[in-house]
Amino acid sequence: MHSFYKLVLATTTLVGAHSPRRHFRPINTSTDKVYTIQDLYVGDGFFDDWDFYTGSDPTGGNVIYQNKSAAQSKGLAYVNDSDYSTVLAVDSTSTVAAGGDRDSVRITSQNSYNGGLFVMDASKMPVGCSTWPSFWTVGPNWPYGGEIDIVEGINDQAKNQMTLHSGTNHTCTIDTDDSDEFTGSVLSSNCYSTETSDSGCSIMDNSSTSFAYGFNDAGGGVFALLWDNSTGMSMWHFARADIPDDLTAQVPTPSTWGTPSGFWSAKTCDITDNFYDQQMVIDTTICGNWAGGDAYSKSGCSGKCTDMVANATNYVDAKWVINYVAVYQ
């Protein structure tokens, strides 16, 4: 089944174990840099190289993360037969008491990375009051191995929030003097998690199609992270109609993409020492220590966040529909 996508995966990826390296050498940053796919997660084989997390939610969310077998049998993790897209969903059919926990999915890539170009193409992302979807990477011994939030937001938030979290052993702040190097708006410039109540340093995308309903109404799009240890972290969002041709052709040239939505300069953040051995994570939690509490009451959503958990119909559209995830080197 899905033999076409198995063929694509076999012929365009370099599959195999990748040995983690504590210090990655800076990647080539010349304008003619040619990126090639190292890992392509797509179609029938999407779940082969991801682990399903089943522990308690570290953010205190009202979810029960399912293992692979349970998630697939409950229809929370599957590949569409029609277009080979991958769906990761929150349960929207079960009866759950107010303040209870609803089934959801969190997956982590088996491979870890120390740089490169990371791309997610999705046609839909989870939406709705109480939801907290994210596509991110995380290193060992959090926060000292670092965390990179590529896609994240809560409740009815309209724009994507991009964030770096670091430990305090090495310098990491947003270079606000380089504000012309990105189009987003700085929310906080200190990346040290322990000094910012774990909020890190964030940049809000200014595009109304970068998150939630606006993203879905635009037919989805692409999120990209260029992690270059010598220059910094750059993040872009492209609505479906604006995806660069070179990215569609799997020969991406980020130097031609224009100013990124977010940029964290290596001049003010020690990228190599703060971010290493990162694994990708895709998940959707509910409420928790950000989407719940004060943030929920200020969001315009009705009632209490924990009461919303009982409303199964609220989660009908709380799902990722992912066309592919790719890592280029």
In-domain check, residue 323? yes
Determine the pLDDT at residue 19. 30
Determine the pLDDT at residue 179. 86
Domain containing residue 166: 40-328
In-domain check, residue 35? no
Q: Is 147 a catalytic residue?
A: yes
Catalytic one of 39, 91, 101, 147: 147
Task: Give the angle 287-280-188 at the CA atoms, nearest 5°.
Answer: 60
Strands 77-79 and 201-204: unpaired
Q: Which of 131, 59, 50, 119 is nearest to 89 (CA)?
A: 131
Q: Is the peptide bond before 143 cis (omega within 30 degrees of 0)?
A: yes
Determine the pLDDT at residue 294. 94
In-domain check, residue 27? no
Strands 221-228 and 232-239: antiparallel
Written as one string, the DSSP assignment of 59-107 is T--SEEEPPHHHHHHTTSEEE-TTT--EEEE---SS---TT--EEE-EE
In-domain check, residue 6? no
In-domain check, residue 114? yes
Determine the pLDDT at residue 328. 99
**CA–CA distance, 14 with 66 (Å, rounded to integer):** 29
Determine the pLDDT at residue 316. 99
Determine the pLDDT at residue 297. 95
In-domain check, residue 34? no
Q: How many domains does the chain have?
A: 1
In-domain check, residue 156? yes
In-domain check, residue 139? yes
* pLDDT values of the chain reduced to their tens digit, one per residue, 329 residues: 333 333 333 333 332 333 332 223 333 444 568 899 999 999 999 999 999 999 999 999 999 999 999 999 999 999 999 999 999 999 999 999 999 999 999 999 999 999 999 999 999 999 999 999 999 999 999 999 999 999 999 999 999 999 999 998 899 999 998 889 999 999 999 999 988 888 999 999 999 999 999 999 999 999 999 999 999 999 999 999 999 999 999 999 999 999 999 999 999 999 999 999 999 999 999 999 999 989 999 999 999 999 999 999 999 999 999 999 999 99
C-alpha Rg value of the chain to the nearest Å: 19
CA 135 to chain centre: 1
The DSSP code for 254 is: G
C-beta separation of 148 from 164 below 8 A? yes
The pTM assigned to this predicted structure is: 0.90
Determine the pLDDT at residue 31. 55
Whichever domain contains 180, its CATH number is: 2.60.120.200
Determine the pLDDT at residue 18. 30
Catalytic one of 39, 101, 152, 205: 152
C-beta separation of 181 from 265 below 8 A? yes
Q: Is 181 a catalytic residue?
A: no
